[in-house]
Structure 1
Amino acid sequence: MEAALEVTARHCRSELDQYGRCVAASPATWQQDCHQLKLRMARCASSHPIVQKIRHDCAEPFTAFEQCLKQNQASVMNCNEHLNQFLLCAEQVKLMTSGE
């Protein structure tokens, strides 16, 4: 995730800024109000090779994390273990890619 965030911050600054402003302006309804901006930011970030590799190599832990979030919308802290598994995977991809 850190690698994805770095790529997003570096290559998708405008999309990230717009999404961040939208979320800050709509604390109660940001998931609905900012959905299109989130998609635009995700499309920008996903076009980068490191993000594509993380999405491919870490699809299983990410899917588990997403599923956990859907099942625990009221208490997303229950998904910390799933998030940690995904982050660990993403960090390994990042390390392997930077060593090539």
Structure 2
Amino acid sequence: MQAALEVTARHCRKETEQYAQCVAANPSTWQQDCHQLKLDMAKCTSSHPIVQKIRRDCAEPFAAFEQCLKQNQASVMNCSEHVHQFLLCADQVKLAT
């Protein structure tokens, strides 16, 4: 699994799981219903350098994914290609050591 997801899973598991469960439980209203959980997850991950680097380096594919979600709130599966593109980008991000 790519580094950012590993960091998120390791350090922000509770926030990530709560957000994912909320999105799954609210397919047509998740954008509003899960907003606070999204913020909680973002706040948790924002302190990790690899996530910060992915946010910078992969901002364009992530923005496209978020836009797709907004346009397909009732059918988020339509955004699987956007997720794929973002993950491809994120997989290539490395922290300079």
TM-score normalised by the chain length of structure 2:
0.74
- Structure showing the higher helix proportion among its residues: 1
Q: CA 1:79–1:43 in 2, change beyond 3 Å: closer, same or farther?
A: same
More displaced, 26-35 or 48-57? 26-35
Gaps in structure 2 of 5+ consecutive residues: none
1:82 and 1:33 map into 2 onto residues whose CA distance is 22
Please tell me whether residue 27 in structure 1 is matched to residue 13 in structure 2.
Answer: no
1:10 and 1:88 map into 2 onto residues whose CA distance is 20
CA contact 2:19–2:41 (8 Å) conserved in 1: no
Count of aligned pairs between the two proteins: 95
Let me know the Cα RMSD of the aligned residues.
Answer: 2.9
Rg (Cα) greater in structure: 1
1:54 and 1:21 map into 2 onto residues whose CA distance is 20
Gaps in structure 1 of 5+ consecutive residues: none
